[in-house]
């Protein structure tokens, strides 16, 4: 009797695991993975595989034609370098600035510090759309259209990193810094020799999230550049999409999508712990 009942619940559990566990897991994974897989496969197809209206799963012939065509329409290596430059310079400055700001907010005495933090936090509430026209007028007036600094400068003020670093610094034991101060260490030494090394995981988190955001940034670079030699990858892809009116050009567009998506996907695969924790910060304290 008992063994029978046990095997009954056992079977029910297996069925339950499959129906309410593995099946949705597989479906969810496929829903995410298939479009990306389709993008990669299509980018290696010859144009003929697309125009047939038949379902061609794998390329009939693996080819990098789409990539070369895309490169002849827009200068892909140049776009890639532009994006890399804007990302590296922008993210480095943002990281540095948010680190020093958070240090100042937590460890340096200053009158009216309580008012300053909200002033910084408001930046989180002002998306690119809201500041679009005034920033465009300002940057255009300074001659920043179609320049790297014109793309980078308006986004440099940063609240996200400042906020994360501040939270982390507040959790540090004050004694370490007081001891260093007694030893005669100035603020720079304290920040870069003591605070920064113990905050390495938070630095990695902020750096990665900032890099991804800079790389994907679209609205501002789109508005401030129209020269193909300065624009970033997402803006260049818009140009590619506009010039490729021909329907058989989907492999070319997919090649473009691969170039902008895959670097972030690789970064995410290896360093997702930091990226996920940075992007979900504040939800669970």
Partner 1 sequence: MSADPTIASSRPRTRSRPLWLSTRRRRDFWAFLLLAGPNIALIVVFCWRPVILNLQYSLLDWTLGNKRATFIGLGNYIEFFTGEAGRVLLTTLIFTVATVGGSMVLGLLLALVLNRRLFGTSVARSFAFAPFVLSGVGVGLVWMFIFDPVFGVLSIILRKVSLPVPEWFSDPRLSLTMICIVFIWKNLGYCAVIYLAGLQSMPAEVMEAAALDGAGPVRRFWWITFPLLSPTTFFLLITTILSSLQAFDIIRIMTPLGNGTLTLMYDVYLQAFGGYNRAGYSSALATILFVLLMVITLLQLRFVERRVHYS
Minimum separation from the CB atom of position 59 to partner 1 (A): 14
**CB nearer partner 1, residue 92 or residue 131:** 131
**CB nearer partner 1, residue 74 or residue 253:** 253
Query: Rounded to an integer, what distance in angstroms lies between the CA atom of residue 57 and that of residue 153?
Result: 44
Minimum separation from the CB atom of position 125 to partner 1 (A): 5
By CB under 8 A, the residues from 3 to 42 that bind partner 1 are 17, 20-22, 24-25, 28-29, 31-33, 35-36, 38-39, 42
92-131 footprint of partner 1 as x/- string (CB under 8 A): -----xx-xx-xxx--xxxxxxx-x--xx-xx-xxxxxxx
Tokens of 107: 């460890």
CB under 8 A: which stretch of 5-13, 172-180, 196-204, 272-280 binds partner 1? 272-280
Q: Is 50 in the site for partner 1 (CB under 8 A)?
A: yes
Residue of 70, 95, 164, 260 interacting with partner 1 (CB under 8 A): 260
Q: Is 69 in the site for partner 1 (CB under 8 A)?
A: no
Helices and strands counted in the chain (H then E) = 16, 0
Minimum separation from the CB atom of position 2 to partner 1 (A): 20
Residue of 65, 69, 89, 136 interacting with partner 1 (CB under 8 A): 136
**CB nearer partner 1, residue 134 or residue 201:** 134
Are the beta carbons of 45 and 63 closer than 8 angstroms?
yes
Q: How far is CA 227 from CA 135, 202, 211, 217, in A?
A: 19, 37, 23, 17
Minimum separation from the CB atom of position 6 to partner 1 (A): 18
Among candidates 197, 234, 229, which has minimal Cα distance to 87?
A: 234
Query: Rounded to an integer, what distance in angstroms lies between the CA atom of residue 214 and that of residue 209?
Result: 9
By CB under 8 A, the residues from 198 to 217 that bind partner 1 are 212, 215-216
DSSP conformation letters of 202-254:
HHHHHHHHHHHHHHH--HHHHHH---TTT--HHHHHHHHHHH--SGGGHHHHH
Among candidates 123, 73, 85, 36, which has minimal Cα distance to 215?
A: 85
């Amino acid at each position: 009797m008992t063994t029978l009942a046990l095997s009954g619940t056992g079977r029910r559990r297996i069925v339950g695991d499959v129906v309410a566990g593995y099946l949705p897991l597989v479906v969810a994974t496929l829903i995410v993975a298939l479009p990306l897989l389709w993008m990669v496969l299509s980018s290696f197809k010859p144009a003929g595989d697309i125009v047939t209206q038949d379902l061609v799963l794998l390329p009939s012939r693996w080819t990098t034609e789409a990539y070369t065509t895309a490169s002849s329409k827009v200068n892909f290596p140049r776009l890639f370098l532009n994006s890399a430059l804007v990302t590296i310079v922008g993210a480095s400055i943002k990281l540095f600035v948010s680190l020093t700001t958070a240090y100042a907010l937590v460890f340096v005495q200053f009158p009216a510090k309580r008012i300053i933090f909200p002033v910084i936090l408001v930046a989180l509430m002002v998306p690119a759309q809201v500041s679009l026209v005034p920033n465009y007028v300002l940057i255009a007036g300074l001659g920043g259209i179609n320049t790297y600094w014109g793309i980078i400068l308006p986004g440099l003020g940063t609240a996200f990193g400042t906020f994360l670093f501040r939270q982390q610094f507040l959790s540090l034991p004050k004694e370490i810094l007081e001891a260093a101060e007694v030893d005669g260490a100035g603020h720079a030494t304290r920040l870069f020799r003591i605070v920064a090394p113990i905050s390495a995981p938070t630095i990695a988190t902020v750096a990665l999230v900032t890099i991804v955001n800079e790389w994907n940034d679209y609205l501002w670079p789109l508005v401030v550049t129209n020269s193909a030699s300065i624009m970033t990858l997402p803006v260049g892809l818009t140009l590619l999409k506009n010039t490729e009116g021909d329907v058989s050009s989907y492999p070319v567009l997919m090649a473009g999508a691969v170039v902008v998506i895959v670097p972030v996907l690789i970064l995410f695969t290896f360093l997702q712990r930091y990226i996920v924790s940075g992007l979900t910060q504040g939800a669970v304290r």
